[in-house]
Amino acid sequence: MNLLTIIGARPQFIKAAPFSEEFRKNNIEILVHTGQHYDANMSDVFFEELGIPKPDYNLGVGSGSHGKQTAKMLEGIEKIILNEKPDGLLVYGDTNSTLAGALAASKLHIPVYHVEAGLRSYNKLMPEEQNRILTDHISNILFCPTQTAVNNLSKEGITSGVINSGDIMFDAVLRNINISNEKYANGAWFDELIRDNGTLPKLNDKEYYLATIHRAENTDNPEKLFSIFKAFSELDKPVLIPLHPRTKKLIKDLNINFKNIVIIKPVGYLLMLYLTSNAYMVVTDSGGLQKEAYFLKTPCTTLRDQTEWVETLADEWNVLSHIDIEEIKIKAQRELACLQQSQPNSFGDGNATAKICEAIINGGQQNE
Ligand code: UD1
Ligand code: UDP
């Protein structure tokens, strides 16, 4: 089988790594990088450390408004489909690259396979929510990471082609956590941070918050961005932030004492896994990181009013916080009773990759 896979943003590289390895054992995959993320530490690092095959095409679309970025991708992907005539097209998640790939294929009557289907925040102001809804409604096989996602699709009348495969990001964590631990134990994690960022204040195991902020609803509102960083500056432990380039450009003028905040460049996935499992708590507006914190049994505070990953809220492993200085501080400094609780596994058995490959090859049927 000849499959065209579209990737373009950081979390898609991480999801593509296990899939490409498995699928290519017996099939042909043509990999298209839209170029949505292009800095070396937002793109190349993942290809190198996770062994993702070099893309067959890179559209090099770069940054831009939603319309411009999506339109450039759509045009580029359409040409590739016409040229390669694939049997199907695979997209991951909910970025502009996801929507562009799904739309280009659907219009040319090429079957669309959506990995991470069925997620909903029920906040249609989010670009990701728009991308997910539209992609799900034009997909032929929908791979849901959880039963909640299956139920969400059912509420919208999508029941055909829906498969609860489990979560491919859970597979990625299981595959890589031991490699990460071996590489970064005994302080090697901090040595690498200093190598890449210069002198940093000393951080001790389990005595720092790990934070990431990049969601448009937080970064593009100056008052919200101020409140987030103000709260970070007043937390009871240092806050380590591998800063997304989007946010880096926007925090320059914030009138805040950054003494408690340790800003570093974005890091590779293996180091990120280590920083996550070694943190006292994760504070984030990322989708993927909320889950990784949960998988690695690190408590999380999510700086959003909704989460698509509702399973992580059980026993307060993850707690949502409105963007308000005092609320963020209270939630982040809460008592961590969750650490005494066991976790139900709602994200599959770590074999999502194999199930997705099998179903694509069998045209939507799962072997029992
Ligand atoms: C995108 C996705 C978001 C996902 C995130 C993963 C959309 C609408 N959003 O958000 O769902 O969670 O990726 O990280 O698709 N930039 C650089 N270098 C890069 C990439 C981006 O400097 O390599 C800067 C540019 O100023 C750009 C801004 O970051 O305008 C935003 O990038 P963009 O890809 O549009 O959105 P993300 O915020 O990364
Ligand atoms: N991540 C990473 N390095 C970083 C920040 C995040 O490898 O400096 C990983 C993180 O572990 C997770 C993924 O990137 O696997 C999440 O991507 P992001 O937060 O950019 O997007 P989202 O999941 O919100 O779409």
Cα separation, 315 vs 308, whole angstroms: 17
Cα separation, 99 vs 314, whole angstroms: 31
Q: What is the four-CA torsion angle of 20, 21, 24, 30, rounded to 10 degrees?
A: 30
Tokens 């896979």 appear where?
Answer: 5
- What is 171-340's CATH topology? Rossmann fold (3.40.50)
Contact 64, 37 (CB under 8 A): no
| CB distance 272 to ligand 2 below 6 Å | yes
Pocket of ligand 1 (CB under 6 A): 9-11, 36-39, 42, 63, 94-96, 127-128, 214, 245-246, 249
Q: Which of 175, 47, 36 is nearest to 97 (CA)?
A: 36
Q: Which of 119, 121, 73, 125 is nearest to 92 (CA)?
A: 119
Q: Is the pTM of this model over 0.90?
A: yes
Q: Which two three-digit tokens encode residue 362?
A: 């069998």
Ligand 1 atom nearest to 11, measured from its CA: 6
* φ, ψ at 238 (rounded to 5°): -60, 150
Q: What is the ipTM of this complex?
A: 0.99
Cα separation, 255 vs 242, whole angstroms: 20
Radius of gyration of the chain (CA): 20
Known catalytic membership, residue 109: no
Burial of 40 (C-beta count, 10 Å sphere; 0-12/13-18/19+): exposed
> Per-domain residue ranges for the chain?
2-167+348-362, 171-340
Q: Which two three-digit tokens encode residue 64?
A: 């831009």
Per-residue pLDDT of the chain (368 residues; tens, 9 = 90+): 999 999 999 999 999 999 999 999 999 999 999 999 999 999 999 999 999 999 999 999 999 999 999 999 999 999 999 999 999 999 999 999 999 999 999 999 999 999 999 999 999 999 999 999 999 999 999 999 999 999 999 999 999 999 999 999 999 999 999 999 999 999 999 999 999 999 999 999 999 999 999 999 999 999 999 999 999 999 999 999 999 999 999 998 899 999 999 999 999 999 999 999 999 999 999 999 999 999 999 999 999 999 999 999 999 999 999 999 999 999 999 999 999 999 988 999 999 999 999 999 998 665 54
- What's the CATH superfamily of 2-167+348-362? Glycogen Phosphorylase B; (3.40.50.2000)
Domain pair 2-167+348-362 / 171-340, same fold: yes
